[in-house]
Amino acid sequence: MRPVRNVGVLMSFLSLLLLIGCSERPDRRRAAAASAPQEFTETRTPVSHFRTAYPESRQAVTGDLSAGVPAAALSPLSSQRREALTPLIDALALSENIDPLLVHAVISQESRYNPRALSPVGAGGLMQMMPGTAARFGLTSAERFEPHKNIRAGIRYLKVLTRLFGGHLDLILAGYNAGEGAVLKYGRQIPPYKETQQYVRRVKGYYALYREQARHRQLRTMMAQVEESRRRVRAPTRQNGRSDSITSERATGAESP
């Protein structure tokens, strides 16, 4: 009888050890997994996953034409494409708190309002965005030729340059043409590139021209409003004069025998 009891005690002891081992096994596995070297696999993610499609900015672009290089004397661009695109350009510019006339000036020089324009160096669309610059603002190479996407990305690039160069119009335009790196390289001056120097003068020329045209339109509108106000003031006076004459005629006729 005694050996049987010993065997029972031994079985109970082994069962207890087995339970303890099973309860510790998950913890050991987790600890071993935590201490094991991790394997990383490289994943390539589109630029748009890291950046919003059009980085937000509410800072206004100042257009001081009195400073910097003189504006070139140019003739206005008159085309059906310009007339057709003006409502879209104006709406996007105003929504981004930028002067629409500056956007028109850039487009006039860059593409002459041709949405399919493609330069020899690969800049495309209305505001001639390079593929790398377009990618900064969430656009694919093909999307550069969609007018509303191209215009909005170009506007926001102008605003990035505005913040970088403190609203200095010459440097903003030089950065748009040659890249901000070139402007910084030459000590925040217009780079000594003939194309860039001519570009700045021409865009400022279009900008000055469009602003002058806008002032003339505003003056004509104000004169028309003044003339309309005078006409409205004169109209009741004439009506009152006629009613007074009719009343006096009736009164005279009533008094006569």
Q: What are the catalytic residues?
A: 110
Buried residues in 229-243 as b, exposed as e (16+ CB within 10 A): eeeeeeeeeeeeeee
Distance in angstroms (rounded) separating the CA atoms of residues 47 and 53: 9
Nearest Cα neighbor of 177 from 246, 104, 121, 257 is 121
Nearest Cα neighbor of 196 from 176, 181, 169 is 176
Q: Is 126 in a helix, a strand, or coil?
A: coil
Residue 40 gets which letter from DSSP? -
Any bridge partners for residue 124, and if so which? 118, 129
Residues sharing a CB contact under 8 Å with residue 140, sequence separation 6 or more, in sequence order? 134
